[in-house]
């Protein structure tokens, strides 16, 4: 156990959601007679859930500041419908219609951010009104009829990376290159962290746990690369998945490495203290809500591209899946806690549940019941450990920069105020 802690940098409890994700995948693969872990199912799992995970990224930031957005599904449906209508009726090029849809999403976010930041109306009430307005709006402008989307959008919702280069690899070379880049990025990040830690501390950490960690992560990425790259001809890693990966990298940097990201956590942790420290609370609220609706518009575009048409019921219930992903990923209801990477793990747990239960022939009614119990169990398990004075199990998954510094101070005999999250 001591060696395992060295490799993973702590107890296995902080990786509980990753372990649960792997365990669920294996269990469903056994019960479905091998239909879970296949190239086609993994490709469909990513393509079919990418838009919800995009919503979850924005929802995380909203929940971290202590608010919630109930309108994201309606905003996504409305933005997608406007895009399809303008492309069809006004004859706009597809890319102009996409930009218009994104602009509408940003405008809606600015509108809702104004009510929250300037007038002080809670996000729950503001976005509840927005949910009603834009749910009615999408039905109104569409006249309850589905509208075909430009064919060029299909690549964003259901496309695959192109194949090129030599055939002796036996894989889709775009997917292979993506996997190699991912492994190289992990190795670079881990070694850079090791070197930085060695310079800042008097005692040098052993190198072998870092190399073992890189090897294990590399094996996992290599296996996924093989799964996605060896599917039926014409398939590879999905384009929606690539869009999601890019967004995860961007928003991980924003939330963990920028001043705006620090302001988000400061406002969520203690709004009054953040204001006294010079944080512009109103601007943080405004930009976070604007960003949420912008991502909702992008999610709507991706969904319309996958379904090849915009429908009046698009977006119904999406906000619930996004919120569930964030809380299963360890975010706190009171705000101030949560990371993008942990939210992605929470979202994938929900996606694997959906896919596995469908493969087992479980109906939509029982699937909702099971997902509800999983959400309650995950959050209750996390809250229980906090109440017992132990570190948060789910919340410590991929800890943020602030929590790492607090833990470091505690080990040096200078406990940070507020305790471990």
Residues 6 or more apart whose Cβ sits within 8 Å of residue 334: 66, 268
Residues 6 or more apart whose Cβ sits within 8 Å of residue 152: 94, 95
**pLDDT tens column, 75-133:** 999 999 999 999 998 988 999 999 999 999 999 999 999 999 999 999 999 999 999 99
DSSP string, 9-60: TS-GGGGHHHHHHHHHHHHHHHHTTS-SSSHHHHHHHHHHHHHHHHHHHHHH
Across residues 369-398, what is the average pLDDT? 65
Residue 353 vs residues 39, 363, 373: alpha-carbon distances, Å:
17, 12, 12
Q: How many whole angstroms separate alpha carbon 71 and alpha carbon 6?
A: 44
Q: Who wins on pLDDT, 195 or 259?
A: 259
Q: How many whole angstroms separate alpha carbon 302 and alpha carbon 314?
A: 12
**pLDDT tens column, 217-253:** 999 999 999 999 998 988 999 999 999 999 999 999 9
**pLDDT tens column, 350-371:** 999 999 999 888 888 888 898 8
Phi, then psi, of 147 in degrees rounded to 5: -120, 125
Residue 359 vs residues 23, 30, 345, 373: alpha-carbon distances, Å:
16, 11, 21, 20
pTM metric for this prediction: 0.87
**pLDDT tens column, 404-418:** 454 444 444 444 433
Domain boundaries, the chain: 50-156+259-421, 160-237
Residue 186 vs residues 179, 362, 404: alpha-carbon distances, Å:
11, 38, 19
Predicted pLDDT of residue 395: 46
Apex CA 176: angle with CA 170 and CA 178, to 5°?
165
Q: How many whole angstroms separate alpha carbon 86 and alpha carbon 94?
A: 9
Q: How many whole angstroms separate alpha carbon 53 and alpha carbon 329?
A: 12
Across residues 12-16, what is the average pLDDT? 62
**pLDDT tens column, 306-331:** 999 999 999 998 999 999 999 888 88
Closest C-alpha among 74, 46, 85 to residue 309: 85
* Radius of gyration, alpha carbons of the chain: 22
Residue 385 vs residues 388, 392, 418: alpha-carbon distances, Å:
5, 6, 16
- Which SS3 state, helix, strand or coil, does residue 419 take? coil
Residue 262 vs residues 48, 238, 252, 256: alpha-carbon distances, Å:
32, 32, 12, 7
Q: How many whole angstroms separate alpha carbon 114 and alpha carbon 209?
A: 49
């Amino acid at each position: 156990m001591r060696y395992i802690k060295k490799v993973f940098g702590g107890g296995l409890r902080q990786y509980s959601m990753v372990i649960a994700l792997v365990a669920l995948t294996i269990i469903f693969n056994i019960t479905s007679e091998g239909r879970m872990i296949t190239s086609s199912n993994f490709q469909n799992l990513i393509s079919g859930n990418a838009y919800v995970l995009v919503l979850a990224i924005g929802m995380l930031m909203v929940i971290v500041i202590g608010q919630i957005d109930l309108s994201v599904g309606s905003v996504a449906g409305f933005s997608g419908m406007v895009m399809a209508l303008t492309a069809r009726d006004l004859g706009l090029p597809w890319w102009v219609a996409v930009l218009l849809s994104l602009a509408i999403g940003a405008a809606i976010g600015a509108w809702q951010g104004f009510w929250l930041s300037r007038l002080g109306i809670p996000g729950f009430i503001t976005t509840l009104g927005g949910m009603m307005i834009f749910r009615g709006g999408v039905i109104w402008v569409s006249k309850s009829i589905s509208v075909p989307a430009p064919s060029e959008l299909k690549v964003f919702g259901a496309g695959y990376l192109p194949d090129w280069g030599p055939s002796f690899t036996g894989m889709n070379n775009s997917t292979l290159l993506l996997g190699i880049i991912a492994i190289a990025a992990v190795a670079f990040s881990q070694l850079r962290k090791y070197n930085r830690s060695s310079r800042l501390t008097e005692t040098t950490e052993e190198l072998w746990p870092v190399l073992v960690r890189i090897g294990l992560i590399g094996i996992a990425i290599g296996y996924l690369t093989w799964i996605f790259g060896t599917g039926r001809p014409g398939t590879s890693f999905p384009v929606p998945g690539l869009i999601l990966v890019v967004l995860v990298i961007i928003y991980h940097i924003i939330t963990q490495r920028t001043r705006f990201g620090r302001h988000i956590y400061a406002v969520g942790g203690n709004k009054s203290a953040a204001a006294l420290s010079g944080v512009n609370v109103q601007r943080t609220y405004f930009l976070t809500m604007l960003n949420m609706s912008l991502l909702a518009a992008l999610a709507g575009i991706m969904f319309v591209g996958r379904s090849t048409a915009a429908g009046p019921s698009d977006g119904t219930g999406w906000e619930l899946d996004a919120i569930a992903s964030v809380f299963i990923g360890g975010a706190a209801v009171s705000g101030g806690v949560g990371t993008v990477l942990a939210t992605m793990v929470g979202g994938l747990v929900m996606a694997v549940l959906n896919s596995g239960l469908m493969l087992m022939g479980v109906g939509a009614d029982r699937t909702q019941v099971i997902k509800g119990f999983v959400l309650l169990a995950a959050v209750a398990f996390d809250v229980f450990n906090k109440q017992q004075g132990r570190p948060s199990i789910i919340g410590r998954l991929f800890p943020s920069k602030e929590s790492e510094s607090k833990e470091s101070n505690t080990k040096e005999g200078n406990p940070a105020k507020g305790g471990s999250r």
